[in-house]
């Protein structure tokens, strides 16, 4: 019921908007605007206007006075909130905004473009991961199965970004139909469930990757513990989101004030989910860095590998930005406008998670491609500088990935296996 009460309060802001835009109203169009408004206003609003206008000092045909008289607007608002339904109140505001030439806000394309473009980039990274396996430069593992689940979970919210935009997410809710508002809330809730599951599985994917790279105890116990926490996080918050209102349908029907039901503190639930998500992100990112810093390899290569594993910080950064967007959730009176930023940041967070999760698996593919490019460059150089070209050619061949009997681990090149306790020579082959 709180959401419907908040939406009723949206009409209270009508006076300020209309006052600010009154100078934009052409005087010669007043008659046509008034005629259109009279035909569109709900009956309950027209009755309130019929009572308030005669005592306001405004002529019934003076549209500028009607739009700028604060006392008149307040009187009509109080009357309408007593006699109109929520959707009739929204219709009243929409008609008044149009009559008073207020601008129409629309940021639907933000969510749609971010969803589609981000989804395409994430899919390219995932297909590159599959290509690396098909070319046998890496071996299929449990982290690959987990990433398949992540991509499957991220697909519906990506599609929903287009559906939500088409239904009006990113526009003021008083410009939408009742069905559009309901559809936005339905797909938004459904997308949130997929988002929570996808983010949990992204963390599981990284943990399974670490288990392929490192075998030292007690490190693997820490990884399994983090994996368990991630699974528990996903299951608990998906269930909490599904049953955040009872009956479940009340989650997308409560806005109109015509349905009965109860909801838990959705705002608090959203904050807890986001904060725990960030904490788990930091734990997952921090797990391998100490191990990677101890690897015996060239500084450049060590920095490159550590940077690759640290790219998850981008996901954390987006989580923090999304957390800021949740501030508007608390007492929103304009759900289809205020929910838009949190929606597209959530979608982008999933896509960045997929991209970062696929980068370590793409490294063997790049190692295979780069020596060939280096060889081509070396042959060209050899024609003008024989000895230099020869060294470049031999160096490029030496850096190519080597196949061994056991291809279970990520290539961490130049590692002196005898000097590390947690990596054996077989651990340094292609995934």
Q: What CATH number does the domain containing 238 carry?
A: 1.20.1070
293 and 339 within one domain: yes
The answer to whether residue 406 is domain-embedded is no
Query: In this predicted model, what pLDDT tens digit does every residue of 90-105 receive, in sequence order?
Result: 999 999 888 888 889 9
The answer to whether residue 310 is domain-embedded is yes
User: Residue ranges for the binding site for heme?
Assistant: 62
Domains in the chain, number: 2
Query: In this predicted model, what pLDDT tens digit does every residue of 201-259 receive, in sequence order?
Result: 999 999 999 998 888 889 999 999 999 999 999 999 999 999 999 999 999 999 999 99
Handedness of CA 14, 17, 23, 25 (dihedral sign): negative
| Selected residue with higher pLDDT from 197 and 54 | 197
| Confidence at residue 70, expressed as pLDDT on a 0 to 100 scale | 87
Q: Is the distance from CB of 207 to CB of 284 less than 8 angstroms? A: yes
Name the DSSP class of 400.
S
| Confidence at residue 12, expressed as pLDDT on a 0 to 100 scale | 46
β strands within 185-224, DSSP E? none
Last residue of a domain, one of 367, 392, 410: 367
Q: Is the distance from CB of 297 to CB of 414 less than 8 angstroms? A: yes
Q: Give the lowest-confidence range in 19-28, 77-86, 338-347, 367-376.
A: 19-28
The answer to whether residue 151 is domain-embedded is yes
**Full-prediction pTM beyond 0.85?**
no
Q: With both helix axes pointing from N to C terminus, report the angle between 312-325 and 299-310 in degrees, rounded to the nearest 10.
A: 30
The answer to whether residue 231 is domain-embedded is yes
| Selected residue with higher pLDDT from 200 and 66 | 200
185 and 152 within one domain: yes
Rg (CA), the chain: 29
Last residue of a domain, one of 99, 121, 154: 99
| Selected residue with higher pLDDT from 403 and 296 | 296
Taking the C-alpha atoms of residue 27 and residue 46, their distance in angstroms, rounded to an integer, is 22
Domain that holds residue 62: 2-99
Contacts within 8 Å (CB) and 24+ apart, 321-329? 321/345, 322/274, 322/346, 322/349, 323/271, 323/274, 323/275, 323/278, 326/267, 326/270, 326/271, 326/274, 329/266, 329/267, 329/270
**Residues sharing a CB contact under 8 Å with residue 332, sequence separation 6 or more, in sequence order:** 6, 338, 339
225 and 135 within one domain: yes
Residue 39 has pLDDT above 90, yes or no: no
134 and 156 within one domain: yes
Residue 24 has pLDDT above 80, yes or no: no
Give the DSSP letter string of 259-314. Answer: S--EE--HHHHHHHHHHHHHHHHHHHHHHHHHHHHT--S-HHHHHHHHHHHHTHHH
Query: In this predicted model, what pLDDT tens digit does every residue of 314-328 receive, in sequence order?
Result: 888 888 888 877 776
| Selected residue with higher pLDDT from 106 and 359 | 106
267 and 151 within one domain: yes
Taking the C-alpha atoms of residue 50 and residue 60, their distance in angstroms, rounded to an integer, is 9
Percent of the chain with pLDDT over 70: 75
174 and 37 within one domain: no
Residue 420 has pLDDT above 80, yes or no: no
Residue 299 has pLDDT above 80, yes or no: no
Residue-averaged pLDDT of the chain: 80
281 and 165 within one domain: yes
Using 50, 70 and 90 to split pLDDT, how confident is the model at 331? low
Using 50, 70 and 90 to split pLDDT, how confident is the model at 335? very high
C-alpha 340 chain-centroid distance: 10
Residue 384 has pLDDT above 80, yes or no: no
| Confidence at residue 304, expressed as pLDDT on a 0 to 100 scale | 72
Last residue of a domain, one of 308, 342, 367: 367
User: Residue ranges for the binding site?
Assistant: 62
The answer to whether residue 423 is domain-embedded is no
């Amino acid at each position: 019921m709180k959401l419907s009460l908040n939406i009723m309060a949206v009409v209270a802001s009508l006076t300020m908007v209309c006052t600010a835009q009154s100078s934009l109203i052409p005087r010669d169009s007043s008659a046509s605007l008034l005629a259109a408004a009279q035909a569109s206003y709900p009956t309950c609003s027209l009755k309130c206007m019929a009572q308030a206008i005669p005592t306001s000092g405004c002529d019934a045909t003076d549209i500028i006075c009607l739009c700028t008289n604060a006392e008149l607007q307040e009187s009509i608002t109080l009357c309408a909130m007593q006699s109109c339904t929520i959707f009739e109140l929204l219709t009243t505001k929409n008609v008044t905004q149009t009559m008073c030439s207020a601008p129409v806000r629309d940021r639907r394309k933000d969510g749609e473009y971010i969803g589609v473009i981000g989804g395409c980039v994430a899919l390219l990274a995932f297909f590159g991961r599959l290509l690396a396996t098909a070319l046998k430069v890496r071996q299929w593992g449990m982290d690959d199965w987990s990433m398949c689940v992540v991509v499957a979970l991220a697909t519906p919210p990506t599609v929903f970004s287009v559906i939500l935009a088409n239904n009006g997410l990113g526009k003021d809710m008083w410009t939408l139909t009742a069905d559009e508002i309901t559809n936005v809330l339905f797909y938004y809730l459904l997308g949130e469930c997929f988002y929570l599951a996808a983010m949990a599985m992204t963390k599981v994917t990284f943990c399974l990757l670490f288990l392929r790279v490192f075998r030292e105890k007690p490190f693997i116990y820490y990884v399994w513990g983090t994996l368990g926490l991630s699974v528990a996080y996903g299951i608990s918050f998906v269930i909490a989101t599904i049953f955040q209102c009872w009956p479940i349908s009340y989650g997308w029907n409560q806005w109109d004030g015509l349905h009965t039901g109860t909801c838990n503190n959705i705002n608090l639930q959203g904050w807890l989910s986001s904060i725990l998500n960030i904490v788990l992100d930091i734990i997952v990112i921090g797990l391998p860095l100490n191990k990677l810093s101890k690897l015996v390899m060239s500084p450049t290569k060590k920095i490159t590998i550590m940077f690759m594993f640290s790219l998850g910080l981008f996901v954390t950064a987006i989580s923090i930005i999304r957390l800021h967007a949740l501030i508007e959730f608390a007492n929103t009176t304009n759900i289809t406008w205020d929910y838009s930023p949190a929606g597209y940041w959530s979608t982008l967070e999933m896509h960045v998670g997929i991209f970062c999760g696929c980068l370590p698996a793409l490294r063997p593919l790049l190692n295979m491609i780069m020596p060939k490019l280096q060889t081509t460059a070396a042959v060209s150089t050899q024609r003008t500088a024989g000895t230099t070209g020869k060294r470049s050619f031999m160096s490029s061949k030496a850096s190519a990935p080597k196949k061994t009997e056991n291809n279970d681990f990520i290539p961490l090149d130049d590692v002196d296996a005898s000097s590390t306790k947690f990596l054996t020579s077989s651990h340094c082959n292609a995934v």
